């Protein structure tokens, strides 16, 4: 295993940004930048050993400075949506930025995806390479209470795993929901849509939402709906039954707070397989419904509709306003931890 560090450019206010390359003994290569704690690329082999980058993104920092689609980014303080951009905690109402109609989305106007993270560590050992990034979100940032110290670690192993670990602590009671927003295309970024990818999701229920994609507070069975991926199905098989495509939170099976299989994706042409394991209770499936070819990505590729799929491991949307959902409250003196593992193979 080895790693390499290089400059990725500077932000408009002059902060230098770095690009870290982690390479496994088998040739898997992950590139991470400390701008937005973002996964820039991941190259893995197909069944014939051909390496391709399977993540959507940009060739340079300028693309990430300007992006509005969260390619590869760490999303927080609260990933997904909070209804009416407000929540109440211990009788106090906190008002957040309304950046998705009347709702709050992915941390607001300047979420964790738009800041420069501090690099705590970037190194390699015999069987793994990793980069550990840190960000202090100050009390009142984007409307959230508490100074929140957050760490994200990307770790690549010789077992063909990419592990993303999160840690956070606060000095005031707050709410927190972190995820990674990589758009995956196992055929290779820029090669077309993901509708032929075969997906399995370990979830028999999903959260019902209103027209603004805010949960109404109850769950429903996936059986006899286009959300039934309990057995492998092509993503495009029933997507036209939905107005825009998939943008749904699944209630994952398995014990809470333990690492469990959430999803499995297989791309039939090249044979690449990705398993997603997580300690989180939910996962948002999003199929790039609003990509329209206007975003030009790596290698000059135009990303059209459904050019990638997101599997965002998370707590449920709007949990601060839904007492029946698993709590997203973090209290002083307690440490938040979360782990998501992407495991790759080919067949």
Please give the positions annotated as active site. Answer: 181, 312
Q: Which of 149, 54, 77 is nearest to 329 (CA)?
A: 77
Burial classification of residue 273, based on how many CB atoms lie within 10 Å of its CB (0-12 exposed, 13-18 middle, 19 or more buried):
middle
Q: Which of 84, 79, 86, 87 is nearest to 105 (CA)?
A: 79
Give the residue carrying structure tokens 């992407």.
Answer: 342
How far the first Cα of the chain sits from its last, in Å, is 24
Contact present, 150 and 137 (Cβ < 8 Å): yes
∠ CA 20-170-216, nearest 5°, is 95
Contact present, 40 and 31 (Cβ < 8 Å): yes
Contact present, 27 and 40 (Cβ < 8 Å): no
């Amino acid at each position: 295993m080895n790693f390499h560090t290089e400059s990725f450019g500077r932000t408009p206010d002059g902060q230098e940004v770095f690009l870290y390359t982690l390479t496994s003994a088998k040739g898997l290569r992950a590139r991470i930048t400390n701008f937005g704690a973002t996964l820039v690329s991941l190259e893995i082999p197909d069944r014939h050993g051909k390496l391709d980058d399977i993540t959507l993104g940009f060739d340079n920092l300028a693309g990430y400075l300007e992006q509005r689609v969260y390619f590869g980014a760490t999303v927080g303080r609260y990933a997904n949506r909070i209804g009416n951009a407000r929540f109440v905690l211990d009788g106090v109402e906190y008002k957040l930025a309304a950046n998705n109609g009347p709702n709050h989305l992915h941390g607001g106007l300047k979420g964790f995806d738009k800041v420069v993270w501090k690099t705590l560590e970037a190194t390699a050992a015999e069987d793994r390479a990793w980069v550990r990034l840190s960000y202090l979100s100050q009390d009142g940032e984007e409307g959230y209470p508490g100074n929140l110290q957050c760490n994200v670690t990307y770790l690549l192993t010789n077992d063909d795993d990419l592990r993303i670990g999160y840690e956070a602590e606060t000095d005031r009671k707050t709410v927190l929901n972190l995820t990674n927003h990589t758009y995956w295309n196992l055929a290779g970024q820029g090669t077309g849509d993901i509708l032929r990818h075969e997906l399995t999701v370990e979830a028999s229920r999903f959260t019902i939402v209103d027209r603004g994609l805010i949960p109404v507070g109850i769950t429903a069975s996936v059986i006899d709906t286009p959300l039934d991926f309990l057995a492998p199905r092509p993503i495009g098989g029933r997507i036209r039954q939905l107005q825009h495509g998939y943008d749904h939170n699944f209630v994952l099976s398995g014990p809470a707070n333990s690492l469990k299989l959430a999803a499995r994706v297989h791309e039939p042409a090249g044979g690449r397989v990705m398993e997603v394991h997580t300690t989180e209770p939910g996962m948002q499936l999003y199929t790039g419904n609003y990509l329209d070819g206007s975003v030009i990505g790596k290698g000059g590729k135009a990303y059209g509709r459904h050019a990638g799929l997101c599997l965002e491991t998370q707590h449920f949307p709007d949990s601060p306003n839904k007492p029946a959902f698993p709590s997203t409250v973090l209290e002083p003196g307690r440490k938040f931890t979360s782990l998501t593992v992407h495991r790759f193979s080919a067949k």
